[in-house]
Amino acid sequence: MKAMPTLEGGLRLDTEDPSDWELLRAIIADAHTPATDDLAKRLGDLIQEDAGAADWEEYIVPDLREEFQDELAEVGAAIESAIVESDGKAGPIWITPENAYPWYSALNQARLALEEQFQFGPTEDIDPGKLSPVRAAAFLRSKFYCAIQSLLLEYVMK
């Protein structure tokens, strides 16, 4: 997969093989971690009792959950649409400045969920060759998502 900034201030991703689409679809799949509490709940759990934890759980967490789901749905739809436009073959997908944040959010949700599941911690010293196949694949996906996030931050969002 190739990624490059566009003249319009966005980012273009070029899949080089039809299987690259599966990597993009994995963003949405990774963001959902059925084995653990979802992101909105985990963030809500940081609020202490004397700071209004019960109200936070009742009023704020559902709003956050909906917001995160909407962002995933937007990115998921964009990926499926790009696959259809490319007829399932290798092709481009554009991230415009207007939808850069939902993309960043979806990638972040995926990375946070992978971290919650696999507990990689700081990644500088991790050798994926020493991880189990499942952990290594998750680690490499997380690194790929991180690379796209860095490009979004540098070329689109700032």
Partner 1 sequence: MADTVTLPETRESTALDVPWNVIVHDDPVNLMGYVTWVIMKIFGYDETQASVLMMQVHQQGRSIVWSGEREKAEFYVQQLQAHQLKSSLEKAE
Cβ(45)–Cβ(118) below 8 Å: no
CA diameter of the chain: 55
- How far is the C-alpha of 126 from the C-alpha of 130, rounded, in Å? 8
Give how many residues touch partner 1 by CB under 8 A.
33
Binding mask 83-102 for partner 1 (x = CB under 8 A): --------------------
- The least distance separating partner 1 from the CB of residue 84, rounded to whole angstroms, comes to 29
**Interacting residue with partner 1 among 44, 91, 93, 100 (CB under 8 A):** 44
Q: Could you say whether residue 9 binds partner 1 (CB under 8 A)?
A: no
67 binds partner 1 (CB under 8 A): yes
- Per rule CB under 8 A, is residue 157 in the interface with partner 1? yes
Q: How far is CA 143 from CA 9, 20, 34, 44, in A?
A: 23, 15, 21, 26
Q: What is the DSSP string of 80-109?
A: HHHHHHTTTSS-EEEE-GGGHHHHHHHHHH
Where along the sequence are the contacts to partner 1 (CB under 8 A)? 39-40, 43-44, 46-48, 50-52, 60, 63-64, 67-68, 104-105, 108-109, 111-112, 115, 120-123, 146, 149-150, 153-154, 157-158
